[in-house]
C-alpha cells in the first residue's frame, strides 16, 4: 500500500491542497498508485511524541502501516520541525512495521544508510523554523515602533515597553538594556521600573 502524508502548520486548506497536489503529481509521474491520503493542520513545532491528542492523522497512518508499505511525503519538514528526536522516533515506528517513507524534496528513502542524512535535514528544518520565527518577531517589533513612535505618554509606553521587555527577555540580538532603551526610545528608569514589575509578577 502507498500513502501520502501532508501537513501544514496553519489551518490553510489552500496550501494544504497544493502540497497534496504536488505529491500526487510526483506519484503519478512515477506511476505510484496512491491508496490513501492522510492530511492534517498541526504545528510541526509542537509535537514531542505520538500521544493520541497530537498528530492524530500521522498516528492513524502509522497504525495502518503494514509490511512493504510506503509513505510519500513532500519534505522532512512536513513530518516535523521539532528536530531529529521526533523524526528518529517516527522512522523507528515506520520501520517496525516493515514500511518506509520517501521524502521528495530531499530525495531520500528511509533506511539504515540514509537515516543520518534524514536526521541532518530534520535539524536544518528546526533551525530554519527558529530563524523564521525570530524574523517574524522582529518584524512585529519594528511595526510597533513605527506605529507608536509619534505617540506620547502612558499609552505609548505601555505598548512599547511590553515589546521591549519581551525582546530583552528573549535575548534576541543579545542587546543590553541601554541598547533596548535606545531602540524603543524609552528612558532607562522607566524600563527598569516595568522590567522589575514584570519579573516580580512572573516570579510569584
pLDDT of residue 130: 44
pLDDT of residue 170: 67
Residue 204 has pLDDT above 50, yes or no: no
pLDDT tier at 193 (50, 70, 90 boundaries)? confident
Per-residue pLDDT reduced to its tens digit, 158-173: 767 777 777 777 665 4
Whole-number Cα distances in Å, 128 to 73, 120, 121, 181, 186: 19, 12, 10, 29, 32
Mean pLDDT to the nearest integer, 148-157: 54
Residue 38 has pLDDT above 90, yes or no: yes
pLDDT of residue 202: 60
In angstroms, the CA 150 to CA 100 distance is 58
Which one has a higher pLDDT value, 150 or 16?
Answer: 16
In angstroms, the CA 92 to CA 7 distance is 20
Q: In what order do the strands lie in the sheet with 70-73?
A: 36-41, 2-8, 70-73, 100-103, 108-109
Per-residue pLDDT reduced to its tens digit, 78-133: 887 766 778 888 888 899 999 999 989 888 888 878 877 887 777 776 555 544 44
Decide: pTM greater than 0.85.
no
Residues of the chain above pLDDT 70, percent: 68
Residue 201 has pLDDT above 60, yes or no: yes
Amino acid at each position: 500500500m502507498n500513502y501520502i502524508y501532508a501537513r501544514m502548520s496553519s489551518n490553510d486548506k489552500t496550501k494544504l491542497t497544493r502540497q497534496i497536489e504536488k505529491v500526487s503529481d510526483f506519484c503519478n509521474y512515477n506511476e505510484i498508485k496512491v491508496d490513501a491520503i492522510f492530511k492534517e493542520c498541526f504545528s510541526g513545532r509542537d509535537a514531542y511524541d505520538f500521544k493520541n491528542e497530537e498528530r492524530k492523522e500521522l498516528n492513524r497512518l502509522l497504525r495502518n502501516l503494514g509490511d512493504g508499505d510506503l509513505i510519500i511525503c513532500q519534505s522532512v519538514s512536513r513530518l516535523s520541525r521539532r528536530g531529529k528526536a521526533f523524526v528518529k522516533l517516527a522512522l523507528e515506528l515506520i520501520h517496525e512495521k516493515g514500511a518506509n517513507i520517501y521524502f521528495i524534496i530531499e530525495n531520500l528513502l528511509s533506511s539504515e544508510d540514509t537515516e543520518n542524512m534524514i536526521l541532518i535535514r530534520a535539524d536544518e528544518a528546526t533551525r530554519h523554523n527558529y530563524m523564521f520565527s525570530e524574523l517574524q518577531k522582529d518584524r512585529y517589533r519594528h511595526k510597533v515602533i513605527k506605529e507608536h513612535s509619534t505617540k506620547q505618554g502612558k499609552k505609548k509606553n505601555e505598548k512599547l515597553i511590553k515589546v521591549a521587555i519581551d525582546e530583552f527577555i528573549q535575548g534576541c540580538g543579545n542587546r543590553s538594556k541601554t541598547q533596548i532603551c535606545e531602540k524603543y526610545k524609552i528612558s532607562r528608569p522607566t524600563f527598569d521600573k516595568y522590567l522589575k514589575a514584570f519579573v516580580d509578577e512572573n516570579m510569584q
